[in-house]
Structure 1
């Protein structure tokens, strides 16, 4: 599988052997992404090839995070030592829809109201005139 950052500066190829992924709810991930959780795919470092290495930020005494310094896309979570695995953000894959969450990590800090939002009203991009019209004016089409 392939993936990368929003602007395309950082790209990767990954050998993926399953559809398993997980949601991390820890405060470090919440702060690093600005979200209530983040979806990760854990994998062996040896199964990942970067076309260009991401920038890295030491986000805690035990880990660093790969990201693109040009567009800000979060890409990885990596322990500083003692692991031959790392986590890639599910959203950075070109085809993220195949992944399925198999577990939660750090439920002690999850935001319970955000776990199941299926009952909330939903609006498609093409149904929102303000957003739709801006996309059409800027690039002539809606985003993929």
Structure 2
């Protein structure tokens, strides 16, 4: 049974409601996604276009002759990927209000995968709230740390 999930961009201008039936997502490592996001990969949730309702539609650009990407022109958040002739689309996992629900089930675009960025369990970890200068900046600016 599908669950209604919400999401949107960082500044809140673009919002959506999606009907999500499962927790499966995937990581895309293709060069197009790397360039579009500035990251080494991007996490996507594939859905039927009919299961996504935009409260405010994203800005869109043709990122290639065969695909369109949705984003917020105000804050730059990448939001979606779709082939115009497909019934499905991808929403970025990070744009969901509750992204922790999803789990990766496969990789795509593995010809461009950067293996050294996948298993980072041995790296030192730092919490945002353990950085006094950053905490001070947030507290002086808005009186709290961001969500």
Q: Under TM normalisation by the shorter chain, which class is it? A: over 0.9
The match for 2:143 is 140
* Alpha-carbon distance between aligned partners in 1 of 2:132 and 2:58, rounded to the nearest angstrom: 36
The match for 1:121 is 124
**Structure 2: where are the runs of 5+ without partners?**
none
Q: Deviations over 1:75-127 (max 9, x none)?
A: 0001122x100000000000101100000001110111001111100110111
* Alpha-carbon distance between aligned partners in 2 of 1:135 and 1:116, rounded to the nearest angstrom: 31
The match for 2:75 is 71
Deviation >2 Å, runs of 4+: none
The match for 2:22 is 18
* Alpha-carbon distance between aligned partners in 1 of 2:133 and 2:43, rounded to the nearest angstrom: 29
* Alpha-carbon distance between aligned partners in 2 of 1:46 and 1:17, rounded to the nearest angstrom: 13
The match for 1:34 is 38
Alpha-carbon RMSD: 0.6
* Alpha-carbon distance between aligned partners in 2 of 1:140 and 1:52, rounded to the nearest angstrom: 29
Q: Deviations over 1:22-64 (max 9, x none)?
A: 0000000000000000000000001010011111010011101
* Alpha-carbon distance between aligned partners in 1 of 2:121 and 2:146, rounded to the nearest angstrom: 23
The match for 2:49 is 45
Q: TM-score, normalised by structure 1?
A: 0.97
* Alpha-carbon distance between aligned partners in 1 of 2:65 and 2:121, rounded to the nearest angstrom: 37
* Alpha-carbon distance between aligned partners in 2 of 1:108 and 1:130, rounded to the nearest angstrom: 40
> Is the strand fraction higher in 1 or 2?
2
**Structure 1: where are the runs of 5+ without partners?**
none
